[in-house]
Homo-oligomer: A and B are copies of this chain.
Amino acid sequence: MTRVDYPEPLKVLISHLKQLPGIGPKSAERIAIWLMQRGADTSQSFSEAFQTAGDLVVECDVCGFFSTEEHGCAICGDSDRDCAFLCVVEQPTDILPLERSGAYRGHYHALRGRISPLDNIGPDDLRIGELSERLRNGSFTEVILALGSDVEGEATANYLVEVISGFPNLSVSRLAQGLPAGGGLDSADELTLMRALQGRVGI
């Protein structure tokens, strides 16, 4: 008697799903079984979604956001954007929340990471050369650093300030740190309160 196991194609699907971030062996199995019980059409539709996204979605060479070759980059190709402002973010995914805020109408530059010596990520691993290039050739007057407020974000910001100081006509700013909207003082940690005090504005 051979001990029974899932058919090979199902095992292959489960081992694929297990690789995805946040998906453990149990979830992978549950997802695969769910798919099998939905029938071949559902699997087909997923297959096509993966294929199409993999084939068509590319990284914009300029800003680092996602785009398609057919439509070009929705940010860089938008002539209504203010060419004086360049907002530097760590990941392309950081661009959407900034867009949703509705408070920014300029261009973006995704570094695709941040300086993190513990993870062996130095300035050369980021899109900092591309940033210098854009600053040299563009019409930007202000660079806004929209990086994380953790240690790696601070380190990256410090490094970038150094780089940007080579462009004397450019001003640099960073996102304000302070109380998040809707939060009371009791829910703010000490560091946040310290920074909110340091960054207090006259009224």
Q: How far is the CA of A9 from the CA of B58 in the complex (A)?
A: 11
Assess the B54–A12 pair: CB atoms within 8 A: no
Shortest distance from the beta carbon of A147 to any chain B beta carbon, whole Å: 18
Residue of B nearest to A91 (CB): B33
Can you list 25 A-B pairs with a CB-CB distance of less than 8 A? A1-B81, A1-B105, A2-B74, A2-B78, A3-B99, A3-B100, A4-B65, A4-B96, A7-B74, A10-B53, A10-B57, A12-B53, A13-B49, A22-B30, A23-B31, A29-B93, A35-B50, A35-B53, A36-B53, A36-B57, A36-B66, A39-B54, A42-B54, A47-B48, A47-B50
What is the chain B residue whose CB lies nearest that of A54?
B43
How many protomers of this protein does the assembly include? 2
Once A21-B30, A46-B16, A47-B48 are accepted as A-B contacts, the answer to whether A5 and B68 lie under 8 Å apart by CB is no
Residue in A3, A34, A51, A52 whose Cβ sees the most chain B Cβ within 10 Å:
A51
Closest to A48 in B: B47
A44 interface contact, C-beta 8 A:
yes
Check A191 for interface membership: any CB of B closer than 8 A.
no
B46 touches A50 (CB 8 A): yes
Q: Which of A31, A66, A92 lies at the interface centre, i.e. has the most chain B CB atoms within 10 A of its CB?
A: A66
Task: State in angstroms the CA–CA spacing of A50 and B31 once bound together.
Answer: 11
A89 to chain B, nearest CB (A): 12
